[in-house]
């Protein structure tokens, strides 16, 4: 992306009242952020995407100095800016409607790694939770995963440290700009992670650290991953929020069970009870559920051909031919079919042994 367009992308992100959904629709309508700022008030209002207050906020925006400062800061500190329509933006997160329009990244983490897991849990962990988390990370080593978490006290930092110990790439997703670190006690770990993963944020440098940032951060933790693993949590807190978001994104949620009398296992037990999380006892369970341990190859079938397909079925098959596998949310978006059409076509194709639905709501053609 050219620097001038990036400049206007950052500026649009600072306009009051322009959230992620509206931002993406504006880019789709006007092609570039620069074009948006060059539109007349009347033209902006005419789109029906914006209220009068939105259009006025864009036309009256003057804080371009903050944009210039941010670009200078990111360049000086080796921070990469990932826009929602860049190839380097995490594809799994892109499939979430409310995903951030911009991400700031320090480090060398592959945001589009094939296998990404979020490992989360309570800040006030027990020895049981600590032991489970450390053992889980060690067991994940053979599966070549990237592990994400929130760099918070408790299970988060235990997971990050265990990843560093076992040479597993790990990505910390923070609720503030990359000019600071909260909590400060994790500054050294965060620096070490930049050589074996990285730090990711949706916030500009010098952004205030506000309470509402943490639930927003949790949607990135949930959306960037194939599955979320809840190690230990009470009934309330950030881990339960993240698990609910992951469930709403059609991601797999895995939970370690605990005794009914242990408050720090109450959240995990509740998620399992409500069928929002699958009970697991280790990495092998997770790998099995995610289809990472399947050795048997699907039987190849003749897809060219002699099978009569509806227009919807043909569209889905054509899309699947372009990728090894595709998430159901991405399939809905790319096919431009409604959910009922996709569900019906997929059921028919699955019965004809043309496609298979894998764990994590991923879909692939048989024989590929």
In the prediction, which pLDDT does 97 show? 85
- The vertex-208 CA angle with 204 and 210, nearest 5°, equals 115
How far apart (Å, rounded) are the C-alpha atoms in residues 363 and 356? 6
Strands 102-107 and 197-201: antiparallel
CATH of the domain spanning 3-76, picked from 1.10.150, 1.10.3470, 1.10.357, 3.40.50: 1.10.150
How far apart (Å, rounded) are the C-alpha atoms in residues 264 and 232? 6
Burial of 260 (0-12, 13-18, 19+ CB in 10 A): exposed
CA torsion, ordered 126, 174, 86, 21, to nearest 10 deg:
100
In the prediction, which pLDDT does 49 show? 84
Residue whose entry in the numeric block shows the structure tokens 């069970």: 257
CATH of the domain spanning 106-289, picked from 3.40.50.2000, 3.20.20.190, 3.30.70.3270, 3.40.50.450: 3.40.50.450
CATH architecture of the domain 311-365 equals Orthogonal Bundle (1.10)
- The vertex-113 CA angle with 112 and 119, nearest 5°, equals 105
In Å, what is the CA distance from 136 to each residue of 98, 119, 132, 171, 274?
30, 9, 6, 16, 24
Please state the domain extents for the chain: 3-76, 106-289, 311-365
Beta-strand runs (E) in the chain: 80-83, 102-107, 116-120, 146-149, 170-173, 197-201, 227-230, 252-255, 278-279, 326-327, 355-358, 362-365
For residue 24, which of 94, 104, 103 has the smallest C-alpha distance? 94
- pLDDT over 70 percentage in the chain: 95
For residue 283, which of 133, 154, 161 has the smallest C-alpha distance? 133
pTM for the model: 0.80
Token code pair at residue 8: 């206007």
How far apart (Å, rounded) are the C-alpha atoms in residues 14 and 18? 8
Question: Do residues 67 and 81 touch, judged by C-beta distance below 8 A?
Answer: no
In the prediction, which pLDDT does 89 show? 94
Q: Is 311-365 in the same CATH topology as 106-289?
A: no
Average confidence (pLDDT) per 10 residues, the chain, 368 residues: 87 92 91 92 86 91 93 94 92 89 94 95 95 97 96 97 96 95 95 95 92 93 96 94 93 94 95 94 93 57 58 87 80 83 86 79 76
Note the pLDDT tens digit of each residue in 168-211. Answer: 999 999 999 999 999 999 999 999 999 999 999 999 998 888 99
Is 218 in a helix, a strand, or coil?
Answer: helix
How far apart (Å, rounded) are the C-alpha atoms in residues 157 and 122? 11
């Amino acid at each position: 992306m050219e620097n001038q367009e990036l400049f206007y992308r950052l500026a649009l992100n600072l306009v009051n009242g322009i959230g992620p959904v509206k931002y993406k629709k504006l880019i789709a309508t006007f092609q570039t952020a620069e074009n948006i700022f060059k539109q007349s008030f009347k033209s902006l209002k005419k789109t029906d995407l914006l209220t009068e207050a939105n259009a006025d906020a864009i036309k009256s925006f003057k804080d371009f100095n903050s944009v210039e400062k941010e670009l200078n800061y990111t360049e000086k500190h080796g921070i990469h800016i990932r826009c929602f329509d860049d190839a380097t933006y995490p594809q799994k997160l892109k499939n979430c409607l409310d995903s951030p329009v911009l991400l700031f990244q320090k480090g060398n983490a592959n945001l589009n790694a094939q296998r990404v897991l979020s490992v989360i849990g309570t800040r006030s962990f027990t020895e049981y939770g600590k032991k489970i988390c450390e053992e889980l990370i060690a067991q994940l080593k053979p599966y070549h995963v990237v592990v994400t978490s929130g760099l918070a006290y408790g299970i988060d930092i235990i997971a990050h440290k265990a990843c560093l110990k076992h040479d597993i790439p790990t990505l910390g997703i923070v609720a503030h700009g990359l000019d600071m670190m909260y909590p400060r006690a994790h500054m050294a770990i965060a620096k070490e992670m930049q050589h074996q993963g990285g730090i990711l944020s949706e916030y500009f440098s010098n952004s205030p650290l506000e309470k509402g940032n943490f639930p927003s951060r949790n949607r990135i933790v949930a959306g960037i991953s194939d599955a979320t693993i809840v190690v230990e949590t009470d009934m309330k807190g950030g881990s339960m929020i993240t698990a609910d978001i992951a469930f709403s994104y059609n991601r797999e949620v895995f939970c370690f069970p605990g005794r009914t009398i242990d408050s720090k296992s109450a959240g995990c037990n509740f998620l399992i009870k409500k069928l929002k999380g699958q009970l697991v006892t280790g990495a092998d369970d997770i790998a099995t559920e995610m289809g990472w341990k399947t050795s048997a190859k699907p039987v190849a079938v003749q897809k060219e051909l002699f099978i009569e397909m509806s227009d919807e079925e043909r569209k889905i098959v054509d899309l699947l031919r372009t990728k090894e596998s595709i998430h159901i949310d991405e399939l809905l978006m790319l096919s431009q079919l409604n959910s009922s059409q996709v569900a019906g076509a997929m059921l028919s194709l699955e019965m004809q042994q043309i496609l298979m639905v894998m764990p994590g709501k991923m879909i692939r053609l048989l024989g590929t």
